Amino acid sequence: MKKLLVLLFAILLFALTGCGADKATDELEKNDKKKAEAKVEESADKETDAATSEEKKSEDVWTYYDNAKWSDNFNGLKLDVEKVVVSDIAPTMEDENAKASAVGVKFKMENTTEGKFTVYPDQAVLVTSTGEQIDMPDMFVSDSIGGEIDKGVIKEGNIIWYLERGHAADITWIKMSFNGRVGAEDQFDGESKDFEFEIKLK
């Protein structure tokens, strides 16, 4: 009888140990499965982020001409066109879904003197190789960088012209013209200069 009890106890102990091992194995498998699912989700998130980034790039309506540059130094006032952009599907102030033709210029000025200058690149006349002349940029979408520029000041921003006949992608060069002078906005006797220059795009 004692032998039978010992045998039954041993079988019961073995069965319980086996169940415990099975339970532990199940837990490990569940944890591994959760980790694998987390890795798959993380990988999917990264792919989504990459796709979103790529989508944003493809949504950019502008063609960039980073090598289309111009610079001048007017008595210590440094002027630079840093890049030119064009688009035939640009939004407008009135309609963000518009498909207008436009030309944009990234402009920068730096006064390296102790005096003042008054310059208006944001009122420049634009001429294009496609035969258009636009006498004034769009003031609503362009940055206001013209006027008086005091000592040590840096002004930079984008100037945008909307074309009347379109075909911005066909433009091979642009020409800009505007004026400036030495002195404050209310001083009219300082040395003046008419800036006129052509920039090749392609």
What's the CATH code of the domain at 115? 2.60.40.4170
The two structure tokens encoding residue 64: 């960039």
pLDDT at 96: 87
For every one of its 202 residues, what pLDDT tens digit does the chain have, with 9 covering 90 and above?
555 444 445 555 555 455 444 555 565 566 556 655 655 566 656 565 554 444 444 469 999 999 999 999 999 999 999 999 999 999 999 998 899 999 999 999 999 999 999 999 999 999 999 999 999 999 999 999 999 999 999 999 999 999 999 999 999 999 999 999 999 999 999 999 999 999 999 9
**Whole-angstrom distance between the N-terminal and C-terminal Cα of the chain?**
104
- Note whether 97 and 25 are same-domain residues: no
Query: Same domain, yes or no, for 87 and 125?
Result: yes
Residues 87 and 44 in one domain: no
Say how far apart CA 193 and CA 181 lie, in whole Å: 6
Q: Are residues 47 and 97 in the same domain?
A: no
Q: Are residues 139 and 54 in the same domain?
A: no
Residue 117 region by backbone torsions, left for phi larger than 0, else alpha for psi between -120 and 50, else beta: beta
**Listed residue (68, 174, 195) closest to 119, CA to CA:** 195
Domain that holds residue 24: 1-59
Model pLDDT, residue 79? 98
SS3 186: coil
On whether the pTM is more than 0.75, the answer is: no
Q: Which tokens is 72 given?
A: 């001048």
Judge if 73 and 50 occupy the same domain: no
Cβ neighbourhood burial of 1 (10 Å; 0-12, 13-18, 19+): exposed
Number of domains in the chain: 2
Q: Which residue bears the tokens 């190789």?
A: 129
